[in-house]
Chain A
Amino acid sequence: MLSVLVWLPIVAAVLVGFWPGLAAERARQTCLVVATALFGWSLWLVARFDPAQGGLQFAESIAWAAELGLYYRLGVDGVSLPLVVLNALLTWIALYSSPSGVKRPRLYFALMLLVNAGLTGGFVAQNLILFVLFYELGLIPLYLLIAIWGDSERRNYAAMKFLVYTAVSGVCILGAFLGIALAAGTSAALDYNASLTTALPLQAQLILLSLLLVGFGIKIPLFPLHTWLPDAYTEASPPVAILLGGVLAKLGTYGLLRFGLGLFPETWHLVAPGLASLGALTAAMGALAALAQKDIKRMVAYSSIGHMGYVLLAMAAATHLSLLGAVLQMVSHGLILAVLFHLVGVIESKVGTRDLDVLNGLMNPVRGLPLVSILLLVAGMASAGIPGLVGFIAEFLILQGSFPVFPVQTLLCVVCSGLTAVYFVILLSRTCFGRLDNATAYYPAVGWSERTPALILTVLILVFGLRPGWLTIWSEKTTGEMAASVNTPGPVARVASKIPQVRSIPLNPLSTLP
């Protein structure tokens, strides 16, 4: 079942890329049909998924190159399922919001599908080598998507920077996985399994975990490995930025959760305090850098770094509540960032600038972009964690879950959350409010095809904000087991056991949520 999600886009990409005489519009339509099918399929998976079961479901396994430890082994659990669905949704959104008049359309659409396949593969791969393969599969198409279809002259620079950083990230992860294989001395399947590392000495575990941290830290990205992100996000066209920020960054956090925390539960607590501080630092850096930006897309890009910091804090704390918050934050951030990038793209295409000093008064009902402005307002509020929207739920779970373990870092993140509101208020007040000057405001009207993706995402942000239970139900069991595996024997658990409310908090309040 999962293979369909992986192979359908690859087959479709090949067909779209090589089918003789395929017209641009037809290529787009084909890709949209495929993306719809993928989204439908992922929803069907959701329908068949048993949330009461914490382990892998829909597992598939074929020996591929057994001597290398490479098995074609797929499966989803409560952590990867929401991300698989998110990937399918955002791919559809990205394809839908791609204009059919894009240059070299067949290559473009084929690459978008390949990115989707790589990301889905990454989320469902249960074999370490297979994961690296999929991880790398997304890299080249994204490099090309930035380099060929980027926004400005700096796109080549941004794409190359992205390629170098992400390649290093891939090498680190591959190195760590091979290190696990070597150190474990096993020629057995390099499958995802915590027992792979239990025999390793602590020092080796620390080295391998650090390698993974660097590898995934680049992808997320964490301070100070983040410098590729503002360039790549800003230079990428909006649909590509949606995939980059909405899903690709989640592959980093997912990888860290799955392979960092999952494979090294014993060692995790040793690095956790540092990670939590790094998370808070990343959040602070993202927020402060966003405050200083004059380009709204760059502002959104930096806000993305900040939000990833919360995820790291939550993973470092590794309580049931915080891990659940981390998964929720991945999804919520994916939705919010996608809508922000889409809207910024619409604004840029209509107004012709992203400069905060030039933009003004877009809320004007007649000559402005009123609906776009309203949606931007909602997305900004969601990103700033205003109650009633999905961003609030995610941040609340993270902060509440992390506070008992890392109070100082959590409080710093609370401050950063406040800063998020500040820079979004700056963005919104400059962009949407104020006075539209009729000397410049001859913007084309926004069509329904441009509004639809943002409307869909906004509805989801609202619905999940009001009914977070619909989102948390899938991951509760898995994150609970993960938290238990980390906290059972180690010092973290001892610390946590001194604080009874940590144990009492999990999910009781959540289950009463609407």
Chain B
Amino acid sequence: MTTTRTKLPPSKHRYATVIHRLEAGGAMLPDTPENLMQIIGLYKAYAVPMDFYWRDLLYIAERVFLDPLPFFKYFLPGEYLERPNHYAGDTADLRIWRGGATAHPELRAFIERGESGKMPRLLHHLWHDRINMEFAEACMRAMLWHRGMGGRFDPYLDTDEYRANADRAIRAYFQGNPAMLALHRLFPEMFIEQVRQLSYYSNLGLFWEVMAPVFFEMSDLYDEGKLTSVPEAMNFLVNGIFAVAGRPIYHHAHIRGEIFEIVPKSKGFTWLYEAALPYVEAVFYRTAPFRGTKSYNAQAKQVPEDQQDFHFGILYADVFPVGTAGIPPTLLMQDMIHFLPPYLVDYYSKHCRGEQDTLIQLGIGFQRSMYCVTSAVIQALRSALFYPLDDPNPRHLEANRRFFELQIDRFNRPEARLLDIQRQDYR
């Protein structure tokens, strides 16, 4: 008996083109060589500071811990620069990037010299000629602040078991410090909440530890001519997501040579459900209305009442905030501009105002690349929860479509940039 494969009728969704593209195994971002070049170039420019972010996030979560005056939390010690990445180098658990496991050479060179030349690290820090770790912290805070975005990690932070673990670590950290211990007794929630935040430091650090080598490898493959289309890039991400989906997410604090398992590995929290998906939800979609990018009037309902309706992430952002210091997207753009591959520098110099507005051009390119990452997440979820794209059963295809449409519905908001990134002249 032969089955006739019925193709689904065209979608009537506002973004039908995008949905058809997703159904054909593509990304939300159109497949053009220019798009590919932009997203890969920015993955590389993003991966270098990200190599710093994950190391420093873990350093703060594990070592700085509850330091009441953490002046030097961005001064990454050599031990953490040397800390081997679990997904790169010869010692890798799973070698995603063929490069080295320690801090990226371009990152080391930048820490050494910055923009302003060689000088003591303290001067670089005060001159703000450094990696903007504040961006990573803003992402972490978005995850902590929104909370409850799926996975078992977040509910765990409210359990008695977690509180007991945290309490033990707090007492150990402040051992011999009666003032802080008295504070802890007076306000028992205060340090626990701080430790929750530190657990998210760890969560995000472990998440990015994976992403940095993924992006490095994609950049290398592109340079070698082995990554030739946007769907290929997206599929590399999808495969990467599945390959590391089970990576444990934990939080260990190192206090006086002793390791305190605040979120033990044994809890079985995993990279995909406990870090990647909450991260995408918090940072790509929701985040918070950053002060300075635009004046939001909460009384005029410009800020949604429900946190889950927040829509200030990179997929919606008006990438124009450059110029006001301290705004997370600005900080990231400023970090990425130091590590652009030459072909992107050349590309930006030929458009708009060239060097003068490279920051914005790369910000919009970054938006494109994050639409590609989000596409990978959507395809991965579809693959995990629904059916293959070439499934012969029309009902399955219908279910896939409903899933895609539901995902794309989130871009029906006027602020969404999905329509913009379909155009090549959106820069």
Contacts and interface: CB of A to CB of B under 8 A. Distances in A.
A367 interface: yes
B362 to A, nearest CB: 11
Contacts of B322: 365-366
Given A366-B323, A435-B294, A442 B318 contact: no
A367 B318 contact: no
Given A365-B323, A435-B294, A436-B320, A442 B352 contact: yes
B195 interface: no
B353 A367 contact: yes
A442 B323 contact: no
B130 interface: no
Contacts, number: 39
B318 A366 contact: no
A30 interface: no
Contact of B356 (A366, A436, A438, A441): A366
B220 interface: no
Given A436-B320, A441-B320, A366 B360 contact: yes
Contacts of B294: 435
Interface string B336-376: 00000000000000001100110110001000000000000
A202 interface: no
B251 interface: no
A438 B323 contact: no
A366 B427 contact: no
A182 interface: no
Interface of A is mostly: loop
B343 to A, nearest CB: 22
Contacts of A366: 320, 322-323, 353, 356-357, 359-360
B351 to A, nearest CB: 9
Contact of A367 (B320, B420, B426): B320
A21 B320 CA distance: 49
A444 B354 CA distance: 10
B357 A367 contact: yes
A62 interface: no
B140 interface: no
A436 B322 CA distance: 11
A444 B426 CA distance: 15
Size class of the contact patch on chain B: 10 to 19
Given A367-B320, A367-B360, A442 B420 contact: no
A438 B360 contact: yes
Contacts of B352: 367, 442
A199 interface: no
B319 interface: yes
A358 interface: no
A365 B360 CA distance: 11
A364 B323 contact: yes
Contacts of B353: 366-367, 444-445
A439 B320 CA distance: 10
Nearest to B294: A435
Most chain A beta-carbon contacts within 10 A, residue among B319, B352, B359, B427: B352
Nearest to B295: A435
Nearest to A438: B320
B360 A435 contact: no
A442 B427 contact: yes
Interface in A12-38: none
Contacts of B323: 364-366
A435 B317 CA distance: 13
Interface string A431-455: 0000111110110110000000000
A437 B318 contact: yes
A438 B294 CA distance: 13
A492 B322 CA distance: 61
A438 B364 contact: yes
Nearest to B425: A442
Given A365-B323, A366-B323, A438 B357 contact: no
A470 B318 CA distance: 49
Nearest to A445: B353
Interface string A361-376: 1001111000000000
Contacts of B427: 442
B361 to A, nearest CB: 10
Contacts of B420: 439
A437 B322 CA distance: 13
A367 B364 CA distance: 13
B291 to A, nearest CB: 13
Interface in A347-371: 361, 364-367
Contacts of B425: 442
Contacts of A437: 318, 320
A364 B356 contact: no
Nearest to B293: A435
Contacts of A441: 320
A437 B356 CA distance: 18
B356 A445 contact: yes
Nearest to B351: A442
Contacts of A361: 320
23 contacts: A361-B320, A364-B320, A364-B323, A365-B322, A366-B323, A366-B356, A366-B359, A366-B360, A367-B352, A367-B357, A367-B360, A438-B318, A438-B319, A438-B320, A438-B360, A438-B426, A439-B420, A439-B426, A442-B352, A442-B425, A442-B427, A445-B353, A445-B356
Interface of B: 294, 318-320, 322-323, 352-353, 356-357, 359-360, 364, 420, 425-427
Interface of A: 361, 364-367, 435-439, 441-442, 444-445
Question: Which 10 residue pairs spanning A and B have beta carbons closest together?
Answer: A365-B323, A366-B357, A445-B353, A366-B322, A438-B320, A435-B294, A367-B357, A366-B360, A438-B318, A436-B320
